[in-house]
Chain A
Amino acid sequence: MNRRSLENIAAAAAILVVVLAAFLAVRQTHLWFERAEVHRSTDVAGNDLLAQDALAEVVALAEPVTDILDVPTRTNPRRGPAQNRYQPVVLRVLTGINRGKLFLANNILHFKPSSNALIGKGSLVHVSVTTSGHGVQDVLICKPIVRYPLLIYLIAGLLCAVILFMRARGVAFAGALAFTVLASSFVLFPLILRGFSPLGAAAIYALLMMVMLTLFLGGAGKKALAAILGACGGLIVSVVVVLAASGPLKLSGFTSAFSVALMEALGGDVELSFVRLLVCGTVICILGIVLDLGVSIASAVEKVSMENRGIRRSAALKAGMRMSRDVTGTMLLTLIFVWAGSELHAMMLPRGLGISFRELLNTEAMAVEILRLVAGGVGLLATGPITALVSVAFFARTGHSARPLKQVKEKRLPAWPLTVVICVEAALCIVCGRMLLKTAGELSPASGAETGAVITPDLASADDYYSYAVARLKEGNQPRAALALWGALALDPDHGPAHRDLAYLFAGRKWFPPARAEIDQALKLLPDDSHTHYIAGVVMAWQSMPSEAERELKRALELDPNNANASEALRALFGAEADGAGGGR
C-alpha cells in the first residue's frame, strides 16, 4: 500500500469520525430532552401539575392571527398587545412523558424579527408542556427556535470538506481542532469556574495549546520550541498592554450585559476579575495567530541557516526579520478584519441611538474592543522579532557567510491601472462622505419632517402618515406604525390621535414613561375625545394605577356612551362597579 492510499484511508477515517461525532452531538441533545427533568407543582385548585421541556414537531399550522384589541384583565392588568399576534399550530411531542401526543399551541409572534419567525410544517420546536390530571394546562413554544441539528450537520459538512481537501494533513487538523475544543471545555473553563486565577488558567491553556498545536500541525523539535518561545513573548507583550491600559481606560467591569452577568455568576471583585478575564480573552484571541507566525519565522530562519552553513547571525536575523515583515502585515489585517466584521452592526449604533461616534468611542464596550484589538496587534508585532531572535540563537552559528543574502525583486506592472482604481476609490469616498454629512442631518431621530420620509416618500401630510400608521396597525406591523406616527408628529407636533396611538404602542411594549408622556399630551390636545380617554384608561391600567384607569374609562363613557371598548374594559377591569358606572351614563 503506497503513501497516497494510506493518506486517503486516514482522511476517510477522519471524515467518518466527524460524521459520527455530529450524529452523536445531535443525538445527545435529543437525549437531554428525553431525560429532561419533570417539574411538579400544584395549581390554585390543588391539582398536580407536571411540566417538562420537550422537542416537538409541527404537524399542522394556520396563518398568523392578529388580535390587536387584547384588553387588560383584572387578574393581569399589564397584559397588552405585545402578545397579540400568533400562529396556531398543532404539535406532536417527540420526547419525554408526553411522547407521541398531539397538542394545540400558539407560536407567539412579537414585532421584533427574532421573535417573528414563522414555523413551517415539519419544523422542530422546543416546547414546555404543563399537564395535569384533567388534561393540558399550557403548551409554551420556547424561543429561540431550534437551530442545533442543522448547525451541527453544517459544521460537520464543513469539516469533512476541509479534511477532504487537506487529505493527510486534514487528519492532523481534525485532531488539533478536537483538542482545542476539549481543552477549552475541560481545562480552561473549569479552571476559571473553580476559582483559579484567569491569568494562570490562560497561561496553562496557552502553553498546553501551543505544545499540542505545534505537535499536530508544525512538528516537534527545535523549530517548534523556537516558535513557542516567540509566541510566548508575543503573548506576554499583549498581556502587559492590557494590564497597563486598563487603568487609563477607566474600566469598571460593566462593559457589556454578558460581562455583568458573568461577574455576578463568578462573584468576587468585579473590576479585578474583569481585567483578568479581559487578559484571558486577549491571550486566546491571538494564541493561534502568534503561534502560526512563530512557526513560519522559525521555519524560515531554520531553512536559511541550513542552506547557508556558517551564515552570520546578523544575516540570519535579517532574513528572519524580513520574513516577519512579510507575514505580519497580512496576519494583522486578518485580526483587524475579523474584528471589523464582528462589530459591523455596532457601527449602526450612533444612528440608532442618536449619539455621536465620539460618544460610542468613549463607551466602555468600544474602549474594551479597541484595547483587545490593539493588545492583540502589538503582541502579534512583537512575536516576529522575538521568534527571529530565538531562532537565530538556535539555528545560526557564528561565522562568515559564503553567500550574502539578496532580495529578489519582481518586475513591476504598469502603474496606470492602479492609479485609475485609486482615483475611483477617492471619488467614491468623497461623494459618499458628503452623503454622510447630509445623512447626519436627515436621518437623525430627532430631526424634523425627514424622519417620516424614510417610510415612504408618497406621504405628504400628518394625516397621511396617521392613516398609513392605522393601516399598519391593522396589519400588526407595529414598528412601521410607530415610524409613521413619529412621521406624523414630525410634521404636526400637535396631532392628537398620533400621540394617542403612540401611547398605546409604547404601553404595549412596556415603555411606560414615554407612554404616559404621550397620553398626557393626547389628553391635552383631545380633552373631549372618548377614544383618547379609553386609551388613557388602558395605559393607566397597565401601569397598575386602577383608580386613574377607572376615572379615565368612566370619562370615556360619559363622552360617548356607545364606546363599547371602554365599556368592555371597564367591565373586565372593575366588574360590578363598571355596570354601576354604565347604569349612570
Chain B
Amino acid sequence: MKIRPHALLTAALLACAAVAAFASDDAPPENSAQSNRAIRGRIISGPLIKDGQPFFSVEIMEGPSAGQTVDARCPERYVRLLRAGRGCLLRAMHEGLVIVEPLREGAVFALVALLAVCIAATMGARGLRVLASIIIAVLLVVFVFLPLALRGWPPLLLAAITGAPLCAGGIVLIGGWNRKSLHAIAGSLCALVVAASLPAVVCRALALTGLEREFGMFYHLDVPLWYSPALAKVSFYQLLLAGVVVASLGATMDVSMVVSTAVWEVHRSAPGAQRGRLRRAGLAVGRDILGMMIIAILLIYAGYQFEMLLLFHIRGLPYAPGLLLNYEEIAAEVVHMGATAIAMTLAVPFTALIAARFPAKGRLHEPTPSVEPSA
C-alpha cells in the first residue's frame, strides 16, 4: 500500500494533538490551594442515614488524601444508583464532602468507542477517514476555538478560522482529494459565509443574547457564564452565531457533495456537455434532495430539544403558541434551523455554478452504472 504524505501528516497531527490533550486535561491551576475541583472516589459501603440525610463511606482515589476513607453525603436522587465498588466524584463543600456525580466517564468512553467501532466496521477505510475528520473537528474546537475565545477573540471569526478547515478537511477526507471535492468545498464555504452573515443581522433584530440557553440543571446559562470573571472577555452573542456556523457545516457539506457528485457524473457520462446543462443537472439534484434534508435537520433539532418542546407544549397550552417564540431558547433554535436551511439551499446553486464553471478533469473509464445519492 502506498503511503501518501498528507496521510502521514494527518497521523502526526492527530498524535501531537492527542499528546496535548492528555497533557492539558485536568491540569490544576497554579493556586491549587484555592481550587475546589472534584476528585474521584470509590464507594466502600452505604448508604447510612445521618441526621436524615444519606451518606456513603467513600475511599478517596486521587489527590493528597488518596487512600483515605471518609463519609460523603449523597444527593437523594443518586442513592438508588450507587453501591459498593462504584466510582463517584466528590467535592468539598462547607458541610463536608459531597458526592456530586456517579462516575460515568467509563460508560461515556465506551459509548464513543462503540460509535467509532461501528463507523470502522460499516464504512471500512472510508470510516477511518470519517473518524479522522471527527477527531480533527474536536481538536480544532478544543485547542483552537476555546482558548482563543477565552482570550477575547471574536467567536464568529474563530468559527470562520476553524470552520473552513473543518469543512475542507471533512470533504477531502470523505470524498478524496480531487476537483469534485474542491467544488464542494468552494460551494459550502460560499453558502456558509451567507449563512453566517444573515443570522448576524437577524439575531441583533431579535435581541438574542446567546445566554438564555439551557444546559443541565441550568435553565439559563447566564448564571454560570455571564457572571464568571474567567469568561469576562467572551462575546456570548457571537458565540451564538459561531454555533450557527458550526451547526450548518455538516448539512452544507452533505448537500454540496451530492450536487458536486451529480455534476461530475453528468460530465463523465457526457464529456462534451455544455456548462448550462451541467448547472441544470446540479440544480435538479439539489432540488430533489433539499426537501428531505431540511425536514431531517428540523427533526434533528426537534429531537435534541424534545424535552423542552414537550414542556413548552404542556405549559404553553394556556397561552398562544406564538408567544413561545418570544423565549430566547426557542428563538435561538429557530434561528439555528433557519440558518442551516439557508446554508443548505444556497449550497445548491453555489456548488452547481462552480462545478459547472470548472468541470472536473477525471480520467474516464468505461461507463458504469450511475449511482446517484438520492431518489
Contacts and interface: CB of A to CB of B under 8 A. Distances in A.
B5 A437 contact: no
A371 B104 CA distance: 11
Contact of B231 (A326, A329, A351, A448): A351
A546 interface: no
**Interface SS majority for chain B:** helix
Given A340-B141, A406-B365, A426-B12, A345 B253 contact: no
Top 4 closest A-B pairs, CB basis?
A: A285-B303, A341-B247, A288-B296, A29-B322
Contact of A361 (B104, B140, B251): B104
Interface string A148-167: 10111011001001100111
A374 B231 CA distance: 30
B306 interface: yes
Interface stretch (B52-60, B64-72, B146-154): B146-154
Contact of A145 (B264, B326, B365): B326
Interface residues of A, number: 188
Contacts, number: 580
Contacts of A233: none
Interface string B171-184: 01010111110100
Most buried by A among B205, B230, B248, B369: B230
Nearest to B147: A436
B213 A345 contact: yes
A482 B247 contact: no
B267 to A, nearest CB: 11
A111 B30 CA distance: 31
Contacts of B212: 114, 144
Interface centre among A162, A180, A258, by most chain B C-beta atoms within 10 angstroms, is A258
B233 A454 contact: yes
A334 B251 contact: yes
A20 interface: no
A341 B303 contact: no
Contacts of A259: 307
B31 A213 contact: no
Contact of A262 (B224, B228, B307): B307
Nearest to A285: B303
A148 B314 contact: no
B77 A148 contact: no
A333 B320 contact: no
Interface stretch (A44-52, A82-90, A411-419, A535-543): A411-419
A413 B111 contact: no
B214 to A, nearest CB: 6
28 contacts: A32-B323, A112-B226, A147-B206, A152-B325, A161-B342, A162-B290, A177-B295, A180-B298, A180-B299, A241-B114, A262-B307, A262-B314, A296-B375, A303-B369, A308-B369, A333-B134, A333-B253, A337-B251, A342-B333, A345-B211, A351-B228, A356-B37, A367-B104, A373-B115, A381-B122, A412-B176, A430-B16, A447-B34
A282 B145 CA distance: 28
B300 A412 contact: no
Interface stretch (A66-74, A133-141, A247-255): A247-255
A486 interface: yes
Contacts of A33: 320
A570 interface: no
A417 B145 CA distance: 24
B222 A112 contact: yes
Given A162-B345, A258-B311, A378-B118, A348 B320 contact: no
Contacts of B34: 446-447
Contact of A339 (B30, B229, B304, B361): B304
A335 interface: yes
Q: How large is the interface on B (under 10, 10 to 19, 20 to 34, 35 or more residues)?
A: 35 or more
B358 interface: no
Given A256-B215, A287-B303, A356-B37, A213 B210 contact: no
Given A258-B307, A289-B300, A421-B165, A362 B103 contact: yes
A426 B37 CA distance: 31
Interface in B107-164: 107-108, 110-112, 114-115, 118-119, 122-124, 126-127, 129-130, 133-134, 136-137, 139-151, 161
Interface string B344-372: 01001100000000001111111011111
Contact of A436 (B4, B143, B220, B229): B143
Given A169-B288, A291-B296, A346-B215, A337 B372 contact: no
Contact of B115 (A152, A167, A377): A377
A112 to B, nearest CB: 5
Contacts of B309: 184, 189
Contacts of B146: 347-348, 436
B48 interface: no
Interface stretch (A100-108, A217-225, A556-564): A217-225
A345 to B, nearest CB: 5
B249 interface: yes
Contacts of A252: 77-78, 80-81
A302 to B, nearest CB: 9
A66 B349 CA distance: 52
Interface string B275-306: 00000000000011111111111111111101
Contacts of B89: 359, 362
Given A166-B290, A299-B374, A407 B336 contact: no
B371 A323 contact: yes
B81 A288 contact: no
Contacts of B27: 437, 440-441
A151 B331 contact: yes
A367 B107 contact: yes
Given A151-B334, A319-B369, A361-B108, A451 B123 contact: no
A354 B36 contact: yes
B55 to A, nearest CB: 18
Contacts of B315: 265
A472 B102 CA distance: 42
B50 interface: no
Interface in A210-231: 213, 216-219, 223, 227
A359 B122 contact: no
Nearest to A369: B304
Contacts of B214: 256-258
Contacts of A381: 118-119, 122-123
Contact of B123 (A223, A325, A341, A413): A325
A199 B182 CA distance: 44
B197 to A, nearest CB: 15
B221 interface: yes
A278 to B, nearest CB: 8
B243 A364 contact: no
